[in-house]
Structure 1
């Protein structure tokens, strides 16, 4: 393989593009909520700009987290496609300096896109939310807070993915803040918290050794799996009110996240490093993404 192709492959590995689904779906959901609320047409140019913001945000997150967690990742012997970083620094495929510069460039670019949208649509909160997205990642991985090591990382992920992102998409498409369906956002908080806990399950040994106080480190993987089930159950309990806030009803689609959640505890024991842990994490992610896709599809194709 030529050096150019090898370097491109390293950047694709560092970018962890499958994780874009965590970002893209909430942004799309927020935009279609706005279209539903205003009764207007979807502004395609705005949609493209919002999803570009999402790509930049996702790249900023994975690059910045790889830089911050490189020592912990070197200790990780149970990494999966869902966790443990991209491994490009561990494998020496990219330098920390290059990845750090890329993270900064993405942060500047996502704020720039947001300022542009804020000016065009007279929505200054878009700039505020962009800065909040950068600040949440900084609080998650970097001093002085570094909450992913102090036990607050999962909550920060929930606030970013199920708070900042849908609200960003909603405001960009012309939604009024006073009319935002907060009940739908609250419905999605528990399942996104469950998802953030799930992605920490495979890294429990290295996180414990590094002093990273994730929930799996604090209570163990099997207990954390039951917490994931309980959180998803809370989302289902909130679903009737949350969906009603955007004119939707609970239907047969609920069985998809229910089945996926049951698989979280159905494959056990699931120690880090086993094939079962990958099935468990994939099931938890599926349960969460299904809960986001449900109202999204209902609004996009009424």
Structure 2
């Protein structure tokens, strides 16, 4: 269906595709890591968590729309898997770049208004409101000029920090206010796991990205990017071992090590497949391991 056709169903379908429905739930999973961590630290107000999750997912949605707008050039050349290559909605004619940008502005506005209300009314702590604002601005800076981190070799780290650090921090802040330094250390392995995923996504998109001058690590380093990948995997599994018993509960470390076969499979497949599935699967199982570990530690400790 051509993009210029005025049809509400096709517009809604385009917006749905550009939300990246296979990726969006990973934001809720990252938030759940923070909920589990916060739950281990003390009682939780679940109404605050509901508000925090809603605002986090709105900020995440806005970032997806902004990225669809910014990456229309590379997405037109990429293979769309649902995880890599963007949604393909613009290339297929279900949406347009103006629609993506409009959606990004509207959802960002809703997020800002909702976040301001929640913070000023005391529905969420001030620290959570600040984290939300940083995450929203970071999502725009990731994709759009003049910063456009994903086109300058900083996209992988920025993406991992947004998903692996800020989203769980939002959940923790909604429960207990300003997170202490210990929480940042506890989330370091989650950031590494998110880095494993995004490097894999960019590896799958490397040919399309190179054609439009988008400098991801995969474009800059070619097959040598596997060293960045292996380093990220080593941190994702090594940090839980190094931090066991004094920063991380032993239960979290054990749960992470139980997923090691998935990580080893990913290590073997790095740069040998164009599929983003191994890296994405590693991130998901490690996040689930952190959640399970904190819950076991909470209920058995």
What interval of TM-score do these two structures reach, taking the shorter chain for normalisation?
0.7 to 0.9
Could you give the per-residue CA deviations for residues 254-286 of structure 1, whole angstroms, max 9, x where no partner exists? 232x2222223434764xxxxx422xx211111
2:231 paired residue number:
230
Q: What's the Cα RMSD here?
A: 2.4
* 1:207-286 mapped onto 2 (5 Å cutoff): 207-220=209-222, 222-242=223-243, 244=245, 245-249=247-251, 250-251=253-254, 253-256=256-259, 258-267=260-269, 270=272, 276-278=273-275, 281-286=276-281
Q: Do the aligned residues in 1 keep the contact of 2:22 with 2:82 (CA within 8 Å)?
A: no
Report whether the alignment pairs 1:18 with 2:22: yes
Q: Are the structure 2 counterparts of residues 176 and 141 from structure 1 closer, same or farther at C-alpha, using a change threshold of 3 Å?
A: closer
Q: Distance in 2 between matches of 1:233 and 1:101?
A: 40
1:184 paired residue number:
186
Q: Are the structure 2 counterparts of residues 83 and 179 from structure 1 closer, same or farther at C-alpha, using a change threshold of 3 Å?
A: closer
Q: CA deviation at 1:200?
A: 0.5
1:137 paired residue number:
139
Q: Do the aligned residues in 2 keep the contact of 1:60 with 1:104 (CA within 8 Å)?
A: yes
Q: CA deviation at 1:117?
A: 3.2
Query: Across the two proteins, how many residue pairs are aligned to each other?
Result: 290
Q: Do the aligned residues in 1 keep the contact of 2:196 with 2:282 (CA within 8 Å)?
A: no
Q: Distance in 2 between matches of 1:216 and 1:161?
A: 20
Runs of 4+ in 1 over 4 A off after TM superposition: none
Using structure 1 for the length normalisation, give the TM-score.
Answer: 0.86
Q: Distance in 2 between matches of 1:24 and 1:46?
A: 15
Q: 1:27 aligns with which of 31, 48, 64?
A: 31
Q: Which runs of 5 or more residues in structure 2 are unaligned?
A: 2-6
Q: Are the structure 2 counterparts of residues 265 and 242 from structure 1 closer, same or farther at C-alpha, using a change threshold of 3 Å?
A: closer
Q: CA deviation at 1:169?
A: 0.8
Q: Distance in 2 between matches of 1:179 and 1:268?
A: 33
Could you give the per-residue CA deviations for residues 26-59 of structure 1, whole angstroms, max 9, x where no partner exists? 2122122222212x1x322222212212321221
Q: Distance in 2 between matches of 1:252 and 1:127?
A: 32
Q: Distance in 2 between matches of 1:36 and 1:268?
A: 35
Using structure 2 for the length normalisation, give the TM-score.
Answer: 0.86
Q: CA deviation at 1:104?
A: 1.0
Q: CA deviation at 1:160?
A: 0.9
Q: Distance in 1 between matches of 2:35 and 2:78?
A: 40
Q: Distance in 1 between matches of 2:280 and 2:199?
A: 10
Q: CA deviation at 1:293?
A: 1.4
Q: Do the aligned residues in 1 keep the contact of 2:237 with 2:256 (CA within 8 Å)?
A: no
Could you give the per-residue CA deviations for residues 131-159 of structure 1, whole angstroms, max 9, x where no partner exists? 21122122221222212111111111111
Q: Which runs of 5 or more residues in structure 1 are unaligned?
A: 271-275
Q: Do the aligned residues in 2 keep the contact of 1:215 with 1:224 (CA within 8 Å)?
A: yes
Secondary structure of the residue aligned to 1:212 is coil
